[in-house]
Amino acid sequence: MNDPGSNYFDLVSPAHLMLVHASPDTPPLNVLIDDQQVNSDAEPLAYQSRFPYFSVPGAALQIDLETASNGETILTRMQQFQPDQYYTLFVSNMRDQIEFVALEDDLTGVPNGAKIRLVHLSPDAMAIKAVVQNSAGVDVDVPDWDLLEFKQSSEFIELTADNYVFYISEANGGGLLLTAATVPLVTGKFYTLYVRGSVHAEGEQGIGLTLILNR
């Protein structure tokens, strides 16, 4: 997707926005910002997909979500954006409780390793924790990944570039929910790993993990 912001907005001091569809039972969406649709009709925002960073004014903006099939508005929100800042806006929760989860993305500097954060976006999962192992099978320290409630995010943490295995479990001592094996993290990159889907569903809507490259 090309940067749609330059088509619609005065972008003297823009902010930068990524949109991610993480609502498991919500159909593909058209996204409108201050009444301007930022995607083409042929490229709606579908579950597990994203619109990479594009430019928006550094201001308070109205964001509307419409179902691509019939134009029904299912969510409207005013969101403040600061110039020169990066944001990720997740479409979250189940359709009957659909909402945005907004994160400010600190992508400053060039890490010596890779930076990654964990976001909990599974609507019916309990609080989660993560164990991370490097390619040698050794657990690595991941501060703030031991108790994340729904809609919470860790900060970006720096890990040595390597192939990692991520084990996601219930934080209260419950069972293992997910394993993501052999995830390569590259020096100088920023990543978001988010838990999505429903623990009570199967197939595409079931609980899973998605890795995003932020930069």
Class of domain 5-105: mainly beta
Task: With a cut of 80, say whether residue 82 has pLDDT above it.
Answer: yes
Select the more confidently predicted residue: 214 or 4.
214
Please state, in angstroms and rounded to a whole number, the distance separating the CA atoms of residues 93 and 97: 6
List the one residue out of 5, 119, 121, 3 whose CA is nearest residue 61.
Answer: 5
Select the more confidently predicted residue: 204 or 11.
204
Structure letter (DSSP) for residue 153:
B
Mean pLDDT for 57-84 is 97
Mean pLDDT for 180-192 is 94
Residue 185 burial (C-beta neighbours within 10 Å; 0-12, 13-18, 19+): buried
Task: Convert the pLDDT of each residue in 1-30 to its tens digit.
Answer: 555 555 556 666 899 999 999 999 999 999
Query: Which residue is listed with tokens 């657990």?
Result: 139
- The CA–CA distances, whole Å, from 62 to 21, 80, 108, 132 equal 18, 9, 27, 38
Q: Determine contact, residues 9/15, Cβ cutoff 8 Å.
A: no
User: Do 5-105 and 114-213 agree at the fold level?
Assistant: yes
pLDDT of residue 110: 86
Mean pLDDT for 95-101 is 98
Task: Convert the pLDDT of each residue in 125-173 to its tens digit.
Answer: 999 999 999 999 999 999 899 999 999 999 999 999 999 999 999 998 8
DSSP 42-104: TS-B-TT-EEEEEEEESSEEEEEEEETTT--EEEEEEEE--TT-EEEEEEES-GGG-EEEEEE
pLDDT of residue 177: 94
Task: With a cut of 80, say whether residue 31 has pLDDT above it.
Answer: yes
Q: Determine contact, residues 150/94, Cβ cutoff 8 Å.
A: no
Domain 114-213 in CATH 2.60.40.2890? The answer is: yes
Number of helices (H) and strands (E) in the chain: give both, helices first: 1, 16
* Every domain of the chain and the residues it spans: 5-105, 114-213
